[in-house]
Amino acid sequence: MMMKILMTGALCSATLLATGAAMAQAVVGRPAPAITAKDATGKPVALADFKGKYVVLEWTNPECPFVGKHYNSGNMPSTQKQAMAKGVQWLAITTTAEDASGDKTRAELQVWLKSKNASPTAAIVDVDGKIARAYGARTTPHMYVVDPQGTLIYAGAIDSKPTANPADIKTATNYVSQALGEAMSGKAVTRPSTQAYGCAVKYPSGA
């Protein structure tokens, strides 16, 4: 099964709310932690590459039903495309605990994203959990928005309905789109922090 290494039994469990905030170095209103990694094609990518632009960080996992809610329905790819059409850069990040090289995961991630008509600026495999640890990422999805000055302006859930039911998307508030829209209009972000929901991010041992 594709991307089996990323999650185990927790995938089909009830909603998992973000925890461990004390571990997070990322704090809304402060500079976002630096990112240096390789994308799914093996190309180096860094958060600093996008200075002067808005950047969305999305923790994802193809086998998570909460991620499936937003991808199978087309909600996440649509949110992504609408943001990128406005010049926003989008980084899809997968944290894996078992594949030391991440090569297989990178290849599978590319295939999966393409199958869902998703085309982020870069897809990153966080093989050692350093990026997830720096941001305090706890669930898939877990979303972050960084402004052109490099400040974290949003952290939390993709939307206001913490379920795996696609039917809930229609009546949910998309927090990422809301944060981007407000910030790009020169307004303060109404909800800079929300509680993320989804499947647990599986950190590598010692991460």
Inside any domain, residue 16: no
Inside any domain, residue 37: no
Q: Give the domain CATH number at 107.
A: 3.40.30.10
Q: What is the pLDDT of residues 55-71, one digit of tens each?
A: 999 999 999 999 999 99
CA 174/CA 86 separation, integer angstroms = 17
Inside any domain, residue 34: no
Inside any domain, residue 27: no
pTM of this prediction exceeds 0.85: yes
- pLDDT computed for residue 202 by the predictor: 83
Inside any domain, residue 191: yes
- pLDDT computed for residue 33 by the predictor: 97
Check: CB of residue 21 under 8 Å from CB of residue 139.
no
Measured torsion, CA atoms of residues 132, 138, 141, 144, in degrees rounded to the nearest 10: -60
Structural domain range at position 70: 4-8+50-200
Inside any domain, residue 206: no
Inside any domain, residue 44: no
CA 70/CA 48 separation, integer angstroms = 28
Q: What is the pLDDT of residues 141-195, one digit of tens each?
A: 999 999 999 999 999 999 999 999 999 999 999 999 999 999 999 999 999 999 9
- pLDDT computed for residue 13 by the predictor: 40
| Residue 99 clears pLDDT 80, i.e. is over it | no
Inside any domain, residue 24: no
- pLDDT computed for residue 114 by the predictor: 95
Banded model confidence at residue 2, pLDDT cuts 50, 70, 90: very low
- Prior bond of 204 cis (ω within 30°): no
Tally of domains within the chain = 1
